[in-house]
A = this chain, B = another copy of it.
Amino acid sequence: MNKVAITNFGNTKFSHDDISIESCLLSSTKALFEQNSNLSKNDIDAVLVATNENKKYLSPILSELSGIKPKISHTVENLCSSGTNAIVSAYSYIASGLANVALVVGAERFDSPGQILEWDNSRGEYKHPIFWASIFTKSYKRRFGITDEDLAIVSVKNHKNAKDNPNAYSNKTYTIEDVLNSRKLTDEIKILDCSRPCTGSSAILLASEDYVKKITDTPVWIAGIGQKTESASFTKSNSFTDMASTKEAARSAFENSKLQPKNVNVAEIHDAFSVCEPMILEDLGFVNKGGGLEYSKNLYNTDNRKINPRGGLIGAGHPLSATGVAQTIEITQQLQGKAGKRQILDANIGLVHNMAAAATSSTVLLLRS
């Protein structure tokens, strides 16, 4: 089976821009090609678009706009996980030998139709994601005796990290008090506990081992993949303080990479809401159950950017299908030693955690330089 590496990427600044999804897709694709003059458009075998937009045939459209005539082209959609699902699919095309080089472009507009969970009848009229986040928050606080003040550290830390991410939606920083005093959306959730849906696009190139040598000296290898779908409905989950799909995706990724949580130097994880960060840290195995917030607080106090160095979703913004690709780009840059002010020293193993719809499905990638 072919080994697969990430060789190139292109990013855009996350914003509230009212631009077409086609322009959005094209902007990060252009940035990717401008990054590497060794790369020829004729080499691209697959173009996978990740988006929740309702428009059709976007991969052939992006291909035509970019001057690419791939073999394989289509759109991948799985709500917030679309970007990493498309990366895993691109991996499989290359590992199976159907492609040598695959381009994955995730893009979303601020008004994406993927933001409201129309289908989740298990929650009655409470279809907006803030409602599942409220249930998680209430349950987590009760189980572990956590206060709103404890939770606020996630937003404070991730906004601070995002300040050094030139592509972040905003570069404002906040205090614990700012978070606590920000607009209340539900009994449990304040606006600074939320990631912000926005416009953005991120592009990444994956290639087979043979091809990698021709285009880069600093490939980042995909060392482990774990994915799990538990359900579609939030209330099918057994517990509101654990993410079963994340646990299983992590178990699988660590097993097939022969790595362990202690080997991971840097990680981007899906902090759609404050409470998600501690839950994910626990379910990935970085810390025992109930210890997630203490872990995040220690990182903040020691100015350690190990978790969500680009600011996570809360700090960087959350253009749904671009998020998984942007997370993977951040870890790629970290493992290449090219993350600028955000750089973690001596990082050679990184993790990406992405999920959709209240963690009813999750993806974990392990990357290695």
Which residues of A line the B interface, CB within 8 A?
A: 1, 22, 47, 52, 54-57, 59-61, 63-64, 69-79, 81-82, 85, 88-89, 91-98, 113-114, 117-119, 225-233, 236, 249, 252, 356-357, 360-361
Q: Determine the residue in chain B with the shortest Cβ distance to A46.
A: B227
Q: Are A228 and B89 in contact (CB under 8 A)?
A: no
Query: What is the distance, in angstroms, from A159's C-beta to the closest C-beta of chain B?
Result: 29
Assuming the A-B contacts A56-B52, A75-B76, are A61 and B119 also in contact, with contact meaning beta carbons closer than 8 angstroms in the complex?
yes
Q: List 23 A-B contacts (CB under 8 A).
A: A47-B229, A52-B56, A55-B118, A56-B77, A56-B119, A57-B78, A59-B78, A61-B119, A69-B229, A69-B230, A71-B252, A72-B88, A72-B227, A72-B229, A74-B76, A75-B76, A88-B98, A89-B89, A89-B92, A91-B98, A92-B92, A95-B97, A98-B225
Which residues from B are CB-within-8-Å of A118? 55-56
Which residues from B are CB-within-8-Å of A357? 57, 60
Which residues from B are CB-within-8-Å of A22? 119
Q: Are A81 and B74 in contact (CB under 8 A)?
A: yes
Give the complex CA separation of A96 and B1 in angstroms: 6
Give the complex CA separation of A70 and B361 in angstroms: 9
**6 nearest CB pairs, A to B:** A95-B96, A74-B78, A60-B232, A96-B96, A92-B92, A61-B232
Assuming the A-B contacts A73-B78, A95-B97, A98-B92, are A59 and B1 also in contact, with contact meaning beta carbons closer than 8 angstroms in the complex?
no
Assuming the A-B contacts A55-B119, A74-B76, A119-B57, are A64 and B236 also in contact, with contact meaning beta carbons closer than 8 angstroms in the complex?
yes
> Which of B60, B232, B360 sits near A78, CB closer than 8 Å?
B60
Assuming the A-B contacts A75-B76, A230-B69, are A57 and B356 also in contact, with contact meaning beta carbons closer than 8 angstroms in the complex?
yes
Give the complex CA separation of A63 and B229 in angstroms: 8
Assuming the A-B contacts A72-B88, A74-B81, A89-B89, are A60 and B229 also in contact, with contact meaning beta carbons closer than 8 angstroms in the complex?
yes
Assuming the A-B contacts A74-B85, A75-B78, are A60 and B231 also in contact, with contact meaning beta carbons closer than 8 angstroms in the complex?
yes
